[in-house]
Amino acid sequence: MARADRAAERTRTADELLALSDEVRRRDAALAVVLDRLAVSVRERQHDQVRGYSGAIDPRSLAELLVARFSLFWGLLEVARSVLVFSPIAVTWYALSTASDAYERLIATHPGLVSRPFLLLWQEGFANTPGVLRFSTLAIIDASLIGMLIALSLLIHFRAEIRDVALRTRILLKESEIRGLIGHAESLSAGDLDGAVSEELVDQMVAEERRVYERAMEREQRLFDLETAVGDLRRAAADLAAAASEIRGVR
């Protein structure tokens, strides 16, 4: 490459790094400063500084910072699911505590009821003792909490297996773009070094690019497999509905 062409290429790469810095600045000002200094180092042909600033940048984290968007709604769902995991246990033990106290007071005042089952007395509210959850009421509350927990878990799992797969793919593609830009900046700065070092840098770039591509293809395959499984479930549900209709027809 002619000297003028190489200088133009360094300028173009520095401008791309500055554009990336402007994009990052809204989310991480410190990282934007590192990108700014990397761009200056590339423009001024400072190989050691380029290597240092490039090593300080994690393309994976940078890609996640740019592509991923925090969702308050999904964050609240995650918190709700974490709380609901323990809520049935807390409610049950609270109800047992109040039921035990009520049972003790009831037996103390009516010793003849000691022969009746505890659960029956509990279902009857221990002679309508205030503040006691009846056994059936407790069962309904626990079942409702567990049902909500199952629904939230399915919703979050669906998001992780469907939406997040596409998000991770976009992150991988962005990571590949960032790695290519940083690798190109390093290769430009290494132009004045010996050929062995330059070849080593190029080999590292090629290997990293291949790794990112393979990870992206793996995510795409997982998404395809999941869509196939959903189709199989739909067909199975249709077959089950048809069988149920035939059984009702025979009856």
**pLDDT digits over 220-244, tens only?**
666 666 666 656 656 655 655 555 5
- Residues 175-201 as b or e (16 or more Cβ within 10 Å = b): bbbbbebbbbbbbbbbeeeeeeeeeeb
pLDDT at 219: 66
CB 98 within 8 A of CB 132: yes
Q: 71-107: per-residue pLDDT in tens?
A: 677 778 888 888 888 999 999 999 999 999 999 888 8
Best CA proximity match to 98, nearest among 121, 131, 137, 126: 131
pLDDT at 140: 92
**How would you classify residue 128: left for phi > 0, otherwise alpha for psi between -120 and 50, otherwise beta?**
left
Residue 195 has pLDDT above 60, yes or no: no
Average pLDDT score, the chain: 77
Token pair of 186 as six digits: 């390093």
What are the boundaries of each domain within the chain? 1-57, 69-251
Which strand (E) or helix (H) includes residue 176?
helix 164-189
Mean per-residue pLDDT, 8-17 = 84
Best CA proximity match to 184, nearest among 50, 18, 28: 50
Helix (H, G, I), strand (E, B) or coil at 133: coil
pLDDT at 251: 42
